[in-house]
Amino acid sequence: MDEFDRLDVLVNTAGGGGRHPDFPDTDDSVWEALLDLNLVGVVRCIRAALPHLLAAPEGGSVVTISSVNGMATFGSEPYSAAKSGLQILTANLAAKYGPQGVRFNLVAPGTIRTRVWDDQADSLARLARLYPLGRVGEPDDVAAAVAFLASGDAAWITGTVLPVDGGILSAGPTRSRS
């Protein structure tokens, strides 16, 4: 706001999962940390940006990065629950603030080759076989989806979830677990 005097787009990209014990042994502190990072952190960012987005001359846009983990069972219950919460948060805010010109959309990536996967080439190769398109995603795959949803080209799209997942959700549980 200090530099441009307005805010048109908010992209929520923070998140992470990390390793934790199986469900029965995952204590409240892990749940709290993962919910805070992946869900409550997004809420905080949206609350801070919302007054400025409501004042945007051509309407504002919020694009939140979620995960296919919020849409299907890929494990990590605390992370997946937080990512799933983003979907209903997005839908509620789209319905509430659409009449005021602010759009809310969600991008749900599958496995994306980021620095988290550095030094894990074997894991990425194994995961790539699970995807119908035969590869894991690249950061540019997600960036293109975000840029589209944030742009005027998506002016009549709100409350949607756009999987950027190489087809893993459509492949179903049989392929994703083979």
* In contact, 112 and 124? CB cutoff 8 Å: no
Q: Are strands 102-109 and 9-12 parallel, antiparallel or unpaired?
A: unpaired
Distance CA 83, CA 39 (A): 7
Residue 121 tokens, joined: 């080439």
Handedness of CA 96, 89, 150, 2 (dihedral sign): positive
DSSP states of 39-53: IIHHHHHHHHHHHHH
| Amino acid letter, residue 86 | L
Distance CA 155, CA 118 (A): 37
Catalytic residue among 83, 96, 97, 131: 83
Is 83 one of the catalytic residues?
yes
Distance CA 146, CA 120 (A): 26
Catalytic residue among 79, 96, 97, 131: 79
Is 79 one of the catalytic residues?
yes
Strand ranges for the chain from DSSP E = 9-12, 60-65, 102-109, 161-164
Catalytic residue positions, numbered: 79, 83
